[in-house]
Amino acid sequence: MSTLASAYTPSTTGHPVRQVLARRPELFTLMLLVALCAFVAAANPDFLRLATLFDLARASVVIGLFALGVFVILAAGGIDVSFTAIAALCMYGVTKGVVEFAPGLPLPVVFTLSIAIGLGLGLVNGFLVHHLRVPSLIVTIGTQYTFRGLLLTFIGTIWITTLPPQMDDFGKVALLTTTSSQGATIILPLFVLILPAVAVLTWWILRRTLLGRAIFAVGGSPAVAERLGYDLRSIHLFIFGYAGALAGLAGIIHACSNRQANPFDLVGSEIDVIAAVVLGGARITGGTGTVVGVVLGTLLVVVINNVLIMAGVPSTWQRVVVGAFILIAGAFMVNRRRA
């Protein structure tokens, strides 16, 4: 017994703080987030006003839903860059359909429709990845162009500035209200609750179901997972379908939140989302990461993109900051592996 008890100790050595961080990289994300918030708050105490926090929460929802979808795919060793195109198609297609054909369609049906279209497009991704055996990056670059092209060619290019009333109202339902420093009323919209709800669902699927562990198994080694009896086809269909459904949900929320539907919106923010996931401690090579990390990574990116400007950092510098953080986090992850 003595031989093995001593021989098993994992090779991580060094300072206890390092050891904890090596096991829980999302703590590192939390540290970055706290440091950043402290910096902004010190530079401009307005940051701590409820109004700012409400804005941050509102801005986190869409990017957070995207990030959770990407994370599920990344956990299985894949990548997706088509989710913004899916979201744009769902958002614009559904909004336009409601405006033109069914102005009185109840809100839950609108949401379900958008999610279902997203799911369908995601399944197309999953099907192609599985059956063509082409890397998911290539497949989703292809489908990103295709979905976007279909949207602009067949559905429309005209900005919808007046939403159907049920959608418009949904964006305005308040969970809480406050007043900004200028005296305007700022609301915390009810829909911000969707992000924590989906985060909990994603966490539950990944940690508590066989499917979740199978996703990580595939991220560890697809060949071994297949050999051990995991059904790769179901896993591929699920992860891309799930990410697609979340993109559909995010798209329709985006429209309700902005009270308009712009077909040219959303596409282009993929890198922000992937950055959020990676900053949350998930390795781009797959098989690792946590939902908590993804949520923290999302908050980090949202804070950088929205409030750095309050600390007097010019908005052109935001990208530099995101880039620097990714490099710091990346260097840290590499060291973690060597530790």
Interacting residue ranges for other proteins, rule: CB under 8 A: 1-8, 10-13, 208-214, 216-217, 219-221, 224-231, 234-235, 238, 287-288
User: In degrees, to the nearest 5, what angle opens at C-alpha 11 toward C-alphas 221 and 284?
Assistant: 35
Q: Whose Cβ is closer to other proteins: residue 211's or residue 321's?
A: 211
Q: Whose Cβ is closer to other proteins: residue 12's or residue 335's?
A: 12
Q: Whose Cβ is closer to other proteins: residue 5's or residue 17's?
A: 5
- As measured in angstroms, the least distance from the Cβ of 229 to other proteins is 4
Q: Whose Cβ is closer to other proteins: residue 168's or residue 226's?
A: 226
Q: Whose Cβ is closer to other proteins: residue 10's or residue 314's?
A: 10
Residue 126 burial class via C-beta count within 10 angstroms: exposed 0-12, middle 13-18, buried 19 and up: buried
Q: Whose Cβ is closer to other proteins: residue 5's or residue 184's?
A: 5
Q: How far is Cα 242 from Cα 11, in angstroms, rounded to an integer?
A: 36
Tokens of residue 91, six digits: 């958002």
Strand partners, 309: none
- As measured in angstroms, the least distance from the Cβ of 291 to other proteins is 16
- As measured in angstroms, the least distance from the Cβ of 274 to other proteins is 19
- As measured in angstroms, the least distance from the Cβ of 165 to other proteins is 38
Residue 143 burial class via C-beta count within 10 angstroms: exposed 0-12, middle 13-18, buried 19 and up: buried
Q: Whose Cβ is closer to other proteins: residue 6's or residue 153's?
A: 6
Among 303, 295, 297, which Cα is nearest to 333's?
297
Amino acid occupying residue 51: A
Among 210, 197, 337, which Cα is nearest to 281's?
337
